[in-house]
Amino acid sequence: MSAVAPRRPSATARALAAVALLAAVAGIARAQAVSAIDDAGRRVNLAAPAQRVAALAPNLVEQLYAIGAGQRIVATSEHADHPEAARRVPRVAVAGSIDLERLVAAKPDLVVVWGGGTSQAQQAALARLGLPVYVAEAATLDAVASSMERLGVLTAAPDAAAAAARYRADLATLRQRHAGTAPVRVFYQAWPAPLITLGGRHVISEAIALCGGRNVFAALEPLAPTVSPEAVLAADPQLIVAAEPHARPTGALDAWRRYPQIAAVRSGALVTLDADRLTRAGPRLPEEVGRLCTAIAAARPVP
């Protein structure tokens, strides 16, 4: 009797087997331990990539959506309004306070906080709850790309590498375009009364320099020092900049118009930028830095 050849699996059976294999691989990936060092220098270890994330700052929400992990956000803070889907995420942090009961009820397996807006006491309270806490504090423009990459590690987000590369490329284009230009004296008004500006260690001061500008108060050590109108007059800025939501002027710069001895006032170089894009260390920052560069270029005297 001749041997009977084994039957080959049907196309349907082979497809089902492939799907099962992919599901098994995905399950292994989800179960794989991940680790990253946050901006406080602490290593955050997770038994598996985070599936439920509490992102307690608008810039961190934007970063997570940019890397493809936005759908995993289960809790956030007030003012998290971009992209549109972020508006529907439950709020557990308002006006600098965190509702710990509501946060725990959201069952996050990772809590991401902004270091500058979350006190040490609040971070300690989160740790006591047994929640893994990642502290983000981008001290430079380039640090935003690194932040997206590290959040990508902790969430196994699919688009982290591409988002970081795109961010770096946008900044590189701006650097190349404005390198070697004549410096423009810039005064950044962070708040009108008391009059607050930004020191040289602030990210926006770095952005001014990238654009070929010179922060007239870059030598001041505090991140947000108080200055006098007389000091601004003495610095004689060629451009005065403020940032407001959606770049809508609120009249915060109008008081300078009574000082025609300031170069910026004589030339009408009083500019309002979009605060959400410029002051949030997120993926939209290069776009607004580009608008800052445009304003600085327009204020540069023609030789």
Assign 127 a pLDDT band (cuts: 50, 70, 90): confident
For residue 278, is it within any domain?
yes
Across the range 286-291, mean pLDDT stands at: 98
Using the structure block, give the residue that is written with the tokens 């990253």. 36
Tell me the pLDDT of the chain averaged across its residues.
91
Which residue blocks in 159-303 are alpha helix, DSSP H? Answer: 160-178, 203-210, 229-235, 263-267, 275-279, 285-299
CA angle centred on 282, ends 273 and 117, rounded to 5°: 90
For residue 279, is it within any domain?
yes
For residue 8, is it within any domain?
no
Using the structure block, give the residue that is written with the tokens 């004689």. 236
Nearest CA to 217 out of 235, 239, 195 is that of 235
Q: Which two tokens stand for residue 184?
A: 């423009």
Check whether residue 49 and residue 118 sit in a common domain.
yes
Check whether residue 58 and residue 106 sit in a common domain.
yes
Assign 28 a pLDDT band (cuts: 50, 70, 90): very low
Looking at residue 3, its pLDDT comes to 45
**pLDDT, tens only, 52-95:** 999 999 999 999 999 999 999 999 999 999 999 999 999 999 87
Q: Which two tokens stand for residue 233?
A: 């007059």
**pLDDT, tens only, 212-260:** 999 999 999 999 999 999 999 999 999 999 999 999 999 999 999 999 9
For residue 10, is it within any domain?
no
Query: What is the spatial distance between Cα 54 and Cα 163, in angstroms, rounded to a whole number?
Result: 20
Total domains, the chain: 2
For residue 11, is it within any domain?
no
The 10 Å CB-count burial string (b at 16+, else e) for 107-119 is ebbbbbbbbeebe
Assign 4 a pLDDT band (cuts: 50, 70, 90): very low
Query: Could you list the residue range(s) of the whole structural domain that residue 74 is in?
Result: 29-164
For residue 269, is it within any domain?
yes
